[in-house]
Structure 1
Amino acid sequence: MIYIILSIFCSVTVAVLLKLAKRYKISIIQAVTFNYLTALTLCFLFFKPDVKIITGTAPWPIYIALAILLPTIFLFLAASVKKLGIVKTDIAQRLSLFIPILAAFFIFKEDFNQLKFIGLGVGFLAIILTFLRKSESKSESGNWFYPIIVFVGFGIIDVLFKQIALHKELPYTTSLFTVFSLAFFVSLIIIIIMIVTKKTKLQLVNIGCGLILGLFNFGNILFYLKAHKALATNPSTVFAAMNLGVIVVGSLIGILVFKEKLTKLNYFGIALALCAVILITISQLNAVR
């Protein structure tokens, strides 16, 4: 259980760091870029990936898609935290699990039970209620765009990572190292272009923050994988504890520390989000039985 707690801590810390980035005027694109430098370095040290086995037969289209999506969605994640706060962004990110579930049903023709359908319905209602406000200006209503992109983006990323896991001839961690390397390369190109066009200036504080961000970003992945390994016979426990934990802890920090304002409907949406995760977890347990 300690690995799940550490994974939750790292995941919520990433959101907190992105929230603080606005206060200290950190360049998000620079932080995201060097976040991947830390992630790929730690991935190399902890997982010892064998890059020699990465050949032309590797799933390169998926690698490249992830290399573009990861930094892009990370930027939308940062914008969502900045515009709408940690509570709503964490829920959008966690409920993105519905995208791979829907893909399993519509694309991979996986059998669904009634509980999973109910869980999906409750989850989508939770999303609507979590972001609902009594009155919104045009500028505020435009902020919906960010968590929606986070929701869809992380869902697609999850589907792509699941596709990588199907390539049994390649260790998952080796593919992970490759994706992080490519994501760093893509982000670095963007930074270089922005520096050349004088749209940004490289600063040590941004590099430092990026390295710290990458530490917690990688920690989230490392401890999540370790939790699945430690509880190999009960993956649903890891799935439920991780998603419920991030929603609860993220909500508490957003409300108590950053004083994010929520309506009664928003609170009800958070409760429904927790119910949705529980229903989907139970449905998965029933499917295994």
Structure 2
Amino acid sequence: MIYLLLSILASSWILITFKLFAKYNVDTKQAIIFNYVVAAISGFVAYTEPLEISDITKFNWFYGTIVLGFIFILIFNLMAITTQKNGISVAAVATKMSVAIPVVFGIIVYKESTGSLKMVGIFMALIAVYMTSIKTAGGISIKKENLIYPLLVFIGSGIIDTSLKFMETNYVAKMDIPIFSATIFGFAAVFGIFTLVYTAIKGALRITIKNIIAGICLGIPNYFSIYFLIQALRNDHLDSSTVFIINNVAILLVSTFASILFFKEKLILKNWIGIILAIISILLVTFSI
């Protein structure tokens, strides 16, 4: 459980950092790309086995990390578009509700437990995610022509978590977790740098020290959030569906309370109901183990 707790703390720190980006006018796109560079370096430093860069291509998971790196950047850009066209609440709901995809995958493919207590907890967790993410009393509304963007965010975010579980189970040795994580971030950084080059060609690129520092502050916890999540998924006593539900809902709780404490964020009644449901759902899923 310690790895799951550490993953929750690292991921919550990422969300808090994003809030600080808004406060200090950080260019989020640049910071994200620098973050991937730092996260990749963190993984290479953490890998203790002798390694030549060319040896990475020999790992069975190598080509999968290319795809995941691309999806990382793609989903980030889709989240930005979703926020612009549908609002931040829609983007938040689409991202967090995507936990349903790896949960269903774990139950169907790996025949994970489906006890009544656990299923009630999972259903309650999805409701909690929605209600905690909504920032207006009237809920959310999406124009039909813009529906594709949150749908792609939902699918893409779910694919990332599902792929991590699949590759961790079938291809990644325990000692290779640091280099596996680093390679994903490395390819995300490469694809991100391509976007920076494109922006530079258009003459709209202005890199600042502030954005680089922001990327460093984000990159280290980002690496560890993935590293600890993969370690948690290797726990023989926890189903992946249990790990993903507890991880996502707990991150939502920690980041919400941090927003109240440090950013004086005001919650509406729906948010408080969502928080209560989130706590109950974690207890139900945990006690169903």
- Which of 165, 168, 171 is equivalent to 1:165? 168
Given residue 35 of structure 1, which amino acid in structure 2 is its aligned partner?
Answer: N
The whole-number CA distance in structure 1 between the counterparts of 2:122 and 2:139 is 27
1:271 aligned onto 2:283: no
- 3-state SS of paired residue (2:72): helix
Asked if structure 1 preserves the Cα contact closer than 8 Å seen for 2:177 and 2:230, the reply is no
- Superposition map of 1:145-184 within 5 A: 151-168=154-171, 170=173, 171-184=176-189
Q: Where in structure 1 are there 5+ consecutive unaligned residues?
A: none
The whole-number CA distance in structure 2 between the counterparts of 1:235 and 1:147 is 30
1:201: Cα distance to partner? 1.8
- 3-state SS of paired residue (1:201): coil
Q: Where in structure 2 are there 5+ consecutive unaligned residues?
A: none
> Equivalent residue for 1:22?
22
Cα distance, 1:144–1:264 mapped onto 2, change above 3 Å: farther
- Which of 243, 258, 264 is equivalent to 1:259? 264
> Equivalent residue for 2:32?
32
TM-score of the pair, normalised by structure 1: 0.76
1:198 aligned onto 2:203: yes
1:187 aligned onto 2:185: no
- Which of 124, 127, 148 is equivalent to 1:125? 127
- Superposition map of 1:181-260 within 5 A: 181-222=186-227, 234-235=237-238, 239=243, 242-243=247-248, 245-260=250-265
Asked if structure 1 preserves the Cα contact closer than 8 Å seen for 2:177 and 2:227, the reply is no
- Which of 95, 99, 102 is equivalent to 2:101? 99
- Superposition map of 1:9-88 within 5 A: 9-48=9-48, 50=51, 51=53, 53-55=55-57, 58-75=60-77, 84=88
After superposition, the C-alpha distances for 1:206-239 in whole angstroms (9 at most, x for unaligned) are 112111210221233455567788xx56547x94
TM-score of the pair, normalised by structure 2: 0.76
Cα distance, 1:149–1:113 mapped onto 2, change above 3 Å: same
Given residue 116 of structure 1, which amino acid in structure 2 is its aligned partner?
Answer: K
The whole-number CA distance in structure 2 between the counterparts of 1:129 and 1:135 is 11
Residues matched between the structures, number: 279
Given residue 104 of structure 2, which amino acid in structure 1 is its aligned partner?
Answer: L
The whole-number CA distance in structure 2 between the counterparts of 1:276 and 1:233 is 22
Given residue 190 of structure 1, which amino acid in structure 2 is its aligned partner?
Answer: T
Given residue 41 of structure 1, which amino acid in structure 2 is its aligned partner?
Answer: I
- Percent of residue pairs bearing the same amino acid type: 27
Given residue 124 of structure 2, which amino acid in structure 1 is its aligned partner?
Answer: V
The whole-number CA distance in structure 1 between the counterparts of 2:118 and 2:159 is 19
The whole-number CA distance in structure 2 between the counterparts of 1:143 and 1:84 is 14
1:163: Cα distance to partner? 1.7
The whole-number CA distance in structure 1 between the counterparts of 2:45 and 2:72 is 21
